[in-house]
Structures are given as structure tokens and as C-alpha cells.
């Protein structure tokens, strides 16, 4: 998978739409997007998703208890993505983002 991705090889083809992927698991995730309806229901709120991975991302970002802290001002956010956006917007941070572990 790693080498295929860097070489740009995408041997796994979706029969329904022609989308191609470098890994079989990505094709399997993509195939869920062709399913009718939204089979993956959040057990905390009314949100529902076609793809299981999207449900997991939703639960982590909307209902997760883990937090990530800005390494400059210590403000906390639910996801690493929002910390990075904060660091770039508020602190004008332009360098590579340091590794972050969630605060439990």
C-alpha cells in the first residue's frame, strides 16, 4: 500500500463509478457510499451516515471527550484539525505542526 501510494498506482477500481484506489480497504469504504440510505446511525444524536468511517469521525469530533491543546496558548479543541486551524489563524503559525496527543 505504502509504495503503491507513492508511485501513484491505483489498482483497486470501483465497478459502479470507476473511482480508483491504492488500497483495497479504501475501495471497500468507498463502496459504502453507493449504498442506498444512511445505514450508520449515531447512537448519541440523530445524525446518520452512508459510510461507517464518517460516523466514527463525527463521533470523535462532535461527541468525543478527548481534547487537543494548542502548544502556544494551551486553548483546547476537540480535534487536532481545529488546533492546527487555530494555530495558523490566531498565532500565524506557519511551520510544521508538532506531534500532538489527546488530553484525556
The pLDDT score that the predictor gives to residue 88 is: 93
- Asked if residue 48 belongs to a domain, the reply is no
Q: Which domain, by its residues, includes 9?
A: 2-34
- Pairing mode, strands 48-49 and 40-41: antiparallel
Q: Return the pLDDT at 1.
A: 65
The answer to whether 40 and 48 are in contact (CB under 8 A) is yes
Q: How far apart are CA 57 and CA 9, in angstroms?
A: 27
pTM for the structure as a whole: 0.43
User: Per the domain annotation, does 82 fall within a domain?
Assistant: yes
**In total, how many domains does the chain have?**
2
Does residue 40 lie within any of the structural domains?
no
Q: What local confidence, expressed as pLDDT, does residue 101 receive?
A: 82
CATH number of the domain at 19, please.
3.30.160.60
Each residue's pLDDT, cut to its tens digit, for the chain (104 residues) gives 678 777 888 999 989 889 999 999 889 888 877 877 778 888 888 888 888 888 888 887 788 776 888 989 988 888 888 899 999 999 999 988 888 888 86
Amino acid at each position: 500500500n505504502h509504495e503503491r501510494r507513492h508511485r501513484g498506482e491505483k489498482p483497486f477500481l470501483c465497478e459502479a463509478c470507476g473511482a480508483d484506489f491504492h488500497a483495497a480497504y479504501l475501495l471497500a469504504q468507498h463502496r459504502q457510499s453507493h449504498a442506498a440510505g444512511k445505514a450508520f446511525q449515531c447512537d448519541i444524536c440523530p445524525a446518520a451516515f452512508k459510510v461507517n468511517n464518517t460516523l466514527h469521525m463525527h463521533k470523535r469530533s462532535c461527541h468525543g471527550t478527548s481534547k487537543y491543546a494548542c502548544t502556544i496558548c494551551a486553548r483546547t479543541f476537540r480535534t487536532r484539525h481545529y488546533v492546527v486551524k487555530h494555530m495558523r489563524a490566531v498565532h500565524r503559525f506557519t511551520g510544521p505542526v508538532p506531534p500532538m496527543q489527546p488530553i484525556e
